[in-house]
Amino acid sequence: MSEPFGTRLRRAMDERGPLCVGIDPHASLLADWGLNDDVAGLERFSRTVVEAVADRVAVIKPQSAFFERFGSRGVAVLERVVEETRAAGALVVMDAKRGDIGSTMAGYAEAFLRKDAPLFSDALTVSPYLGYGSLAPAVELARESGTGLFVLALTSNPEGPEVQHAVRADGRSVAATVLAHLAADNAGAEPLGSFGAVVGATVGDLSSYDLAINGPLLAPGVGAQGATPADLPAVFGSAVGNVVPNVSRGVLRHGPDVAALRAATAAFAGEIRAAVAGS
Ligand SMILES: O=c1ccn([C@@H]2O[C@H](COP(=O)(O)O)[C@@H](O)[C@H]2O)c(=O)[nH]1
């Protein structure tokens, strides 16, 4: 049986720090890097990021949307990015935000979490808004293949609260319900469960939420969306040690120079380390 994602992630965070660098090849970034908005530009951009940082950060998060927009040739680039990232020692969290009825969810799970799949990743972002139970096939396959999930709970965008803060008949919010399901799926896991939540670093006061899910908290929003590493202790409180902060554009805007990408990554990593240590 494969070593669980949560165990591998904890080790990677301890060895390399918790920073996750996102690969988000926006058309505007390709232009800023002097690249064409085509498959060759996509490939050069993504593989430069892998070369610059995959040997030094715990996690790389490719944003599938920016590869899918080029069709099958873009997806082929994504396959190479996944392979090269893992070869360089970083874990891959595929940000594809999949979610569907259970029988279809099984197909999505096979696409990303089955060991011999071309896009086999260490973890996948998923949406629970067809009901957390619809994710069961992905939870089951993740357990089998030693992979993980990051379930959208409290997203970093301003539109999220209208759904996520909605209160159910039992008085509990939708997001709190997602967190409670994750805690149940992570019960008894050591040192960390494999089923994480996406909780934006921009969301502000989380004191009414129980973030003690015994799993990782993927925190987008640092950098371009306005949150800073210094905000993390106040937002996540005692759960800050399980936070995996994601920075995409905040690092990527320093390319295409590899040394500059590395310097930006090191600066974020240092600020995050200092913020977490001082909390
Ligand atoms: O709540 C969420 C969930 C996912 N994301 C994704 O993270 C990155 C953020 O990129 P930045 O350039 O650092 O803003 C991007 O891929 C989003 O789709 C998120 O921002 N918020």
Ligand 1 test: best mutation among 129, 178, 248, most atoms within 8 Å of CB? 248
CA 11/CA 128 separation, integer angstroms? 27
* Annotated catalytic residue within 47, 80, 86, 97: 97
Percent of the chain as helix, strand, coil, to the nearest 5: 50, 15, 35
Instruction: Report the nearest atom of ligand 1 relative to the CA of 249.
Output: 12
Question: What ipTM score was computed for the predicted complex, to two decimals?
Answer: 0.99
The protein residue whose alpha carbon is closest to atom 1 in ligand 1 is 155
Q: What is the pLDDT of residue 1?
A: 63
Specify the pLDDT at position 275: 96
For the chain, 279 residues long, the average pLDDT of each consecutive 10-residue run is 93 98 98 98 98 98 98 98 98 98 97 98 98 98 98 97 95 97 98 98 93 98 98 96 98 98 98 93
Ligand 1 centroid, distance to 169 Cα (angstroms) = 31
Classify strands 20-23 and 59-62 as parallel, antiparallel or unpaired.
Answer: parallel
pTM (global) more than 0.95? yes
CATH code assigned to 5-278: 3.20.20.70
Phi, then psi, of 218 in degrees rounded to 5: -80, 120
Q: Is the dihedral of CA 230, 236, 242, 247 positive or negative?
A: negative
- DSSP run (H or E) holding 113: helix 102-113
Separation between Cα atoms, residue 261 and residue 195, nearest integer Å: 30
Q: Whose CA is nearest to atom 20 of ligand 1?
A: 220
Give dist(CA 66, CA 78) in Å, integer. 9
Measured distance CA(103)–CA(82) in Å, rounded: 26
Taking CA atoms only, the protein residue closest to ligand 1 atom 6 is 220
In this structure, what are the phi and psi dihedrals at residue 170, rounded to the nearest 5 degrees? -85, 5
The pLDDT score that the predictor gives to residue 279 is: 77
The first and second tokens of residue 155, run together, are: 């997203």
Following DSSP, what letter does each residue of 4-64 receive, concatenated? PHHHHHHHHHHHH-S-EEEE---HHHHHHTT--SSHHHHHHHHHHHHHHHTTT-SEEEEBH
Distance CA 76, CA 131 (A): 31
Token code pair at residue 78: 């994504």
| CA angle 217–218–220, rounded 5-degree value | 135
Q: What pLDDT is stored for residue 2 in this prediction?
A: 85
Chain position carrying tokens 């979490």 = 113
The beta-carbon contacts of 33-42 under 8 Å, at least 24 apart in sequence, are 33/255, 33/256, 34/256, 35/256, 38/70, 39/70, 39/73, 39/74, 39/77, 42/66, 42/67, 42/70, 42/74, 42/77
